[in-house]
């Protein structure tokens, strides 16, 4: 089925829009490299300034007094210093905004029923988004076979986030050991079977198989974790990197102190403004 780029209307993630990964009938290799990126961290584009050597009026000579030249040099230096200072201020302001993208949702403990309801609301929104971009989405963001009793967790820019606590009666290390807890999660991807919208395949697949037979390996996967702090965390990587149902996650050992499994990746605060707004709006209703 041919896949072409749709207008990038939303889901701008690390310079990549989920809509930009959209496809339709025909050749799957028709999407340009500019539309899909498998890089996890955001790269900063570098704009090369072109040099202009305009040597007009070389046949004429203008005599300038030394004091005039000196004044021009001072004025130029002053302008450069002012511009540099403005850029530093803007950079600092952008970094401050990056460090605290949310903050309107009070952190509290949610019941299992509230978790299910809130994550289902977000899933409904995600399904609509996936359909617009001819992508597939699943809420099966964590799956594993037999494992120890320790908690499953992920690493974010803001610290560890608890994903699953096997034994709620034991602290391994337990709810209070984390500042952030995932109330749910979704995974966006381009389906190898041309499924758009909600995909049942991940829940029906074998654990060992993971996403390997479900996802079109030519396109990156987008994993979202829905934090109880009102922030959506995201990891963008290839199916080879995080294709297992437990890929990109860690797990504590039986004592709840050592880590039996160390995460290989860090989830970033998602650049998807629409997703952030939607998740905040949902939690404000609880």
pLDDT in tens, 166-188: 888 889 999 999 999 999 999 99
pLDDT digits (tens, 9 = 90+) for 114-159: 999 999 999 999 999 999 999 999 999 998 866 788 999 999 999 9
% of the chain at pLDDT higher than 90: 57
> What number is the average pLDDT over the span 203-213?
93
pLDDT digits (tens, 9 = 90+) for 80-100: 444 444 445 544 444 444 344
* 168 CB burial (10 A radius; 0-12, 13-18, 19+): exposed
Cα–Cα distance measured from residue 225 to residue 31, given in angstroms and rounded to the nearest whole number? 27
- Residue 166: predicted pLDDT: 81
Cα–Cα distance measured from residue 149 to residue 142, given in angstroms and rounded to the nearest whole number? 16
Which of 60-69, 141-150, 262-271 bottoms out in mean pLDDT, i.e. has the lowest? Answer: 60-69
Which of 107-111, 142-146, 202-206, 211-215 bottoms out in mean pLDDT, i.e. has the lowest? Answer: 142-146
The pLDDT of residue 52 is above 90: no
Nearest of 144, 147, 135 to residue 186 by alpha carbon: 135
Cα–Cα distance measured from residue 252 to residue 150, given in angstroms and rounded to the nearest whole number? 5
Task: Flag whether the pTM goes above 0.85.
Answer: no
- Residue 240: predicted pLDDT: 95
> Which tokens is 192 given?
């190898």
> What number is the average pLDDT over the span 52-72?
39
**Residue 39 CB: number of other CB atoms within 10 A?**
13
> What number is the average pLDDT over the span 3-29?
38
> Which tokens is 49 given?
């300034």
- Residue 53: predicted pLDDT: 38
């Amino acid at each position: 089925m041919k896949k072409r780029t749709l207008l990038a209307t939303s889901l701008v993630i690390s310079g990549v829009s989920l809509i930009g990964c959209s496809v339709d009938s025909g050749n799957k290799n028709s999407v340009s490299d500019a539309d899909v990126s498998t890089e996890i961290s955001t790269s900063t584009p570098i704009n090369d300034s072109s040099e202009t050597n305009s040597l007009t009026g070389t046949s004429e000579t203008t005599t300038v007094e030394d004091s005039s030249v000196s004044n021009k040099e001072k004025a130029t230096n002053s302008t450069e210093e002012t511009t540099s200072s403005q850029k530093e201020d803007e950079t600092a302001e952008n970094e401050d905004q990056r460090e605290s993208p949310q903050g309107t949702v009070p952190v509290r403990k949610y019941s299992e029923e509230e978790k299910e309801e809130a994550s289902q609301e977000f899933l409904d929104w995600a399904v609509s988004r996936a359909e617009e971009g001819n992508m597939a989405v699943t809420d099966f963001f964590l799956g594993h076979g037999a494992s120890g009793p320790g908690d499953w967790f992920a690493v974010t820019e803001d610290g560890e986030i608890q994903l699953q606590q096997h034994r709620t009666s034991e602290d391994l290390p337990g709810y209070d050991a984390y500042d952030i807890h995932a109330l749910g999660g979704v995974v966006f991807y381009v389906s190898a079977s041309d499924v758009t919208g909600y995909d049942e395949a991940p829940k029906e697949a074998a654990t060992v198989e993971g996403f390997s037979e479900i996802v079109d390996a030519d396109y990156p996967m987008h994993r979202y974790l829905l934090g109880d702090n009102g922030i959506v965390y995201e990891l963008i990587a290839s199916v080879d990197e995080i294709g297992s149902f437990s890929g990109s996650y860690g797990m504590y050992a039986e004592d709840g102190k050592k880590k039996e499994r160390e995460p290989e990746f860090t989830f970033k605060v998602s650049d998807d403004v629409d997703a952030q707004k939607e998740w905040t709006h949902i939690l404000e209703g609880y």
